[in-house]
Amino acid sequence: MNICIIDAKQFITDEKLIEPLYKLGNVSMYDGIPQSLDETIKRAKDADIVLFALMKFTNEIIDNLPNLKILQFIGTGVWNFVDALYAEKKGIKVLNIEGYGNNAVAEFALSCAFSLARKITNADRILKERRWSLDNLEGIEIEGSVFGVVGTGNIGSIVAKKACLLGADVIACDIYESDELKNKYGIKYVSLSEIFEKSDIITIHMKATKETEKIIGKDLLSKMKKSSLFINVARAELVDNESLYDLLKSGQIAGAAIDVYENEPPKDYKLAELENVIATPHIGFYTKKANDNSIRLSVESILNFLDID
């Protein structure tokens, strides 16, 4: 059996985590997203099992890998990276993992909130330019702010709890309301519109589906206060990013932190180039603990599917 870790060698810091794969057969590993279809096929042409983390696994790629039987996503939300129905019609089992980096992403969202609120990246840039100035560096504090959390599932609930413990007035929106967040933390559930009207800081933690595509559109974004901050470390497809760009550029929104993009790497970097935007290359999940968890859970997922102890 041939196994290919097609774009995630850099995630593997402990070889012991993939030892069970060596017992299944030959293992090949590569760093980074393949830059062409030919390169993708070259990496995985003989593979029975492919593990992937960063790339979009298109139908064209699937059509060119005749031996492929198992496609294991080293992450959550595989449907955003592969047409699972198409793959399974071709006899390929698509597997997914959950919960490997919930705290990592939650902490990253809060890191973005702190950085935006205190204009840390702007201040850093000024000093790197050998200038000493406080111009336009006055910030806001998390304590006492209205902190809006859109989506209180596994990650959003952690963000809401931590923001509450920091002294923020946390409001949330979700179809399913958490009794724990309401009763233990005093978090109030409100409408999506109210989140955007009232919040000083808004962070998004929803799944990207056909129903939620661009759910955060111009109408909602335009409701934000000029002093408000917007954070998206979930999925780019949730947001009308053209409208977000326009509102940020015109100063109708004070700032944003963006970690996710409709194309990765992006075809257009204009949002990332704005002075009031913190842009990062999808690193919300990227900690050693979360990476180790993702590899361990992915290997377990394959072994469970193959019914191997």
State the pLDDT at residue 308. 84
Contact 203, 162 (CB under 8 A): no
Looking at the annotation, which residues are catalytic?
A: 235, 264, 282
Angle subtended at Cα 84 by Cα 47 and Cα 61, rounded to the nearest 5 degrees: 45
Among candidates 100, 21, 90, which has minimal Cα distance to 62? 90
Low-confidence ranges of the chain (pLDDT < 70): none
Q: What contacts 24+ positions apart, CB below 8 Å, involve 78-85?
A: 79/209, 80/208, 80/235, 80/237, 81/52, 81/55, 81/56, 81/57, 82/56, 82/57, 82/58, 83/58, 83/59
State the pLDDT at residue 309. 72
- Averaged confidence pLDDT in the chain: 96
State the pLDDT at residue 242. 97
- Calculate helix-pair angle for 288-305, 102-117, nearest 10 degrees: 150
Q: d(Cα 170, Cα 189) in Å, to the nearest integer? A: 9
The model's pLDDT over 204-257, given as tens digits with 9 standing for 90+, comes to 999 999 999 999 999 999 999 999 999 999 999 999 999 999 999 999 999 999
The model's pLDDT over 77-104, given as tens digits with 9 standing for 90+, comes to 999 899 999 999 999 999 999 999 999 9
